[in-house]
Structures are given as C-alpha cells and as structure tokens.
Structure 1
Amino acid sequence: MTATPLLIVFARALHPGQVKTRLIPGFGADGALQIYQQLLWQTFAAAEAFPGDVQLWLDKPDAQLQQEAAARGWSCFLQEGEELGERMAGALSRGLSLTSRALLIGSDCLLLDQSYFEQALNVLDHTPVVFGASEDGGYVLLGSSQVSLWSAGRFSGVRFGGPHALQDSRSCFTPEQTRVLPPLWDVDEPEDVARARSSGLLPPVTFS
C-alpha cells in the first residue's frame, strides 16, 4: 500500500441522450452532451492538479475518454454494479486496497480544485469518511481512509439524485465516522447552467 493519495473520477460515456438528461428539454440531446463535455474537461483540468494518482472510472467503454485518460497517465476502469452506491463502494474498495486515502468525484462540479481536495485529504488523517456537500442536498466529493467500510451494500437505501442523498449517505455510518466539507454547487438543472455561465465558469453551447 502506498501513502500517495488517489483521486477517482466517475464519468459517463459521451453518448447523446444519455448524459445530463435533465438538460435535454432545454438544450436538446446534443446541447446537453456539449455541456457535459465542458464539465468533464474542466473536471479533468482540476484532477490534473491533484497531489497524487488519478483514475478514470466510466459507466460504459468510450474510446475518446479512454484515450484522454491515457494521455494524462491515468488508469481507466469500468464501474461495476447496478446502483450508484454499489459502484462507488466498489471503486473506493479497490482504490483503498492500494492507498491509504482515496477521494471520489463526479464531473458536475466546476468549483472542485486543489484546495478542496487537500481539505478532504486532511480530514482523512483523523476521520475515515469525508463528504464534500453540494447546495442541493447531495455531495460532490466522497473520500475515505478505511477500506473495511466499503462493502457493496454500504449505501443500500440511499436516495441518490435528490435532496436526501447526503443525509441518507451519512446515516450509513456512525456520526463520528464522517465529516462534511463546506457546500459547493454542481450543474444539474438549466438554472445551474445559467449560473455557471453568468459566473464565467462555463462557455456558451455552440453548434457546428
């Protein structure tokens, strides 16, 4: 086992109509895909500043994203499991078999940066699970330093994708096992896209 921390990035394959589905009514399938790609490239940029190793975990094979990972020297894996909680637990279990601290992020938050990663890693020096909260009641980051916590059913019953995700996920542990970082916000709804653009974090969608 190494002391070098690990960042796990969860991403979806670049298939129109299968990413950012809540944006499709307003932007179309191609527009939603383009927004997702913009989010993903910025997530990759943040990951490149991570003080450790990086792995990309895809929901389905995607040649372009596998090449992007290889170009950055990252390992690439496929997520395993039916539910999101099972897939995250599996990735963390595998990661923590290799290192003493692992963080897992998605690709929807434009505010993740090296400082936030370092805050999370510092928490893991004395607490086995850390969450990076999001304003909508979910979370943008999950980290751990204890491999034995990550059985496949750890997050059984958690209501992901809504305002109860963080609360439900924390309830899967004892109170002293978790700590929550200050909330950030992610891009899920059309109003989030508008917020990101008005903040200068997301360029307009362009069509060729």
Structure 2
Amino acid sequence: MSDTPLLIIFARALHAGQVKTRLIPAFGADGALQIYQQLLWRTFAAAQTFPGDVQLWLDKPDAQLSQEATSRGWSCFLQHGEDLGERMAGALSRGLSHSSRVLLVGSDCLLLDPPYFEQALATLEHSPVVFGASEDGGYVLLGSGQASLWSTQRFRGVRFGGPHALQDSRACFAPEETAVLSPLWDVDEPEDVARARSSGLLPSVIFS
C-alpha cells in the first residue's frame, strides 16, 4: 500500500453527439464537443498540480486521450459497470488497493485547484469518504481512504445527473462516514457556459 495519493479522472471518449448532450441544442454536437474538450484540458491542467499519481479512466477507448495520458505520465483505464455508481465504486476500489487515499473527479468543474485537492486529502485523514459538493446538488469530487466501503452496489438507487445526487450518495453511508467540502460549480447547461466565459474560464468562441 502506497502513501502516495491517487487522483482518478473520469472522462468520456471524444465523440460528437455523445458528450455534453445538454449543450447540443444551444451549440450543436460539434460545439458541445469543443466545449467538452476545453473542460477536459482544463481538468488535465489542474491534475498536473496534484501531489501524487494520476490515472485517466475512459468510458470507451479513445486513442487521442490515451496518448494524452501517456504523454503526461498517467495510466489509462476503461470504466466498468452498469451505471455511474458502479463505475465510480469500481475505480475507487481498484485505486484503494494500491493507494491509501484516492480522489475521483469528472471533467465538468473549472475550479479544481491545488488547495481544493489538499483540502480533500486532509479531510480523508479523519473521514472515510469526502464529497466535493456542486451548487446544483451533485458533486465534483469523491474521495475515500477506506477500501472496504466500495462494493459495486454501494450507490444503488442514487439519482445521478440531478439535484439529488449528493443527498442520495451520502445516504448510502452512515452519517459519520462522510464529509462535504464547500460547493463549487460545474458546466452542464448553456447558462453555465455563459458563466464560465464571463469569468474568463472558457474561451468565448466556438471554432468551426
């Protein structure tokens, strides 16, 4: 067991029409893909600051993203499971077989940074599970330091992708087993893109 912490990034393969689908009505399939790529590169940049190992976990094979991971010295894996809950639990279980503390993030939050990672890792010193809340009721980060918690059915019944995700996920544990960091915001809807652009976190142009 290594004391070096591990950061797992969950990402989707770069296929137009299959990423950021809630943005497609406003930006088109190609525009939504470009926004997704911008979010992903920003997440990769944040991951470069992580004080430990990094792994990229993809929903489908993607040669470009696999090569990107390799170029950064990261391992690349495929997610397995029937739903997001099973896939996250499986990744955390595998990560915790090698590392004493594991954080898992997606690619939708532009505000991940070294202090946030450090806060999450510090929280795991006294809590078995940490969630990084998002303003919409979900979460942008999930972390744990206790491998025995992560059966594939841990998140059974959780309503992912909506305002109940964090509440439902916390209910899968005993109250004393979870801690929650202050909420950040992520990019899911067109208004989130506008917010990110006005904040200077995303470029304001979609290239054809």
Query: Where does residue 159 of structure 2 map in the other structure?
Result: 159
1:107 maps to a residue whose letter is: S
CA distance in 1, matches of 2:31, 2:205: 6
Query: Where does residue 87 of structure 1 map in the other structure?
Result: 87
Query: Where does residue 139 of structure 1 map in the other structure?
Result: 139
TM-score normalised by the chain length of structure 1: 0.99
The list of structure 1 runs, each at least 4 consecutive aligned residues, that deviate by more than 6 angstroms after superposition, is: none
CA distance in 2, matches of 1:41, 1:102: 21
Query: Where does residue 115 of structure 1 map in the other structure?
Result: 115
CA distance in 2, matches of 1:168, 1:187: 21
CA distance in 1, matches of 2:134, 2:144: 18
Instruction: Give per-residue Cα distances to partners, 1:146-198, cap 9 Å, x unaligned.
Output: 00000000000000000000000000001100000000000000000000000
SS of equivalent residue, structure 2 residue 77: strand
CA distance in 2, matches of 1:15, 1:198: 27
CA distance in 2, matches of 1:13, 1:115: 28
Query: Where does residue 68 of structure 1 map in the other structure?
Result: 68
2:199 maps to a residue whose letter is: S
Check whether the contact 1:35–1:205 (CA below 8 A) recurs between aligned residues: no
Query: Where does residue 192 of structure 2 map in the other structure?
Result: 192
Aligned ranges for residues 22-61 of structure 1 at < 5 Å? 22-61=22-61
Check whether the contact 1:31–1:205 (CA below 8 A) recurs between aligned residues: no
SS of equivalent residue, structure 1 residue 22: helix
2:35 maps to a residue whose letter is: I
CA distance in 1, matches of 2:3, 2:89: 20
Instruction: Give per-residue Cα distances to partners, 1:43-85, cap 9 Å, x unaligned.
Output: 0000000000000000000000000000000000000001000
SS of equivalent residue, structure 1 residue 126: coil
Structure 1: any 5+ residue segments left out of the alignment? none
CA distance in 1, matches of 2:101, 2:91: 13
Check whether the contact 1:131–1:178 (CA below 8 A) recurs between aligned residues: yes
2:121 maps to a residue whose letter is: L
Structure 2: any 5+ residue segments left out of the alignment? none
Query: Where does residue 207 of structure 2 map in the other structure?
Result: 207
Percent identity over paired residues: 83
Check whether the contact 1:139–1:165 (CA below 8 A) recurs between aligned residues: yes
CA distance in 1, matches of 2:114, 2:10: 17
TM-score normalised by the chain length of structure 2: 0.99
CA distance in 1, matches of 2:207, 2:57: 28
CA distance in 2, matches of 1:206, 1:138: 27
2:41 maps to a residue whose letter is: W
CA distance in 2, matches of 1:12, 1:23: 15
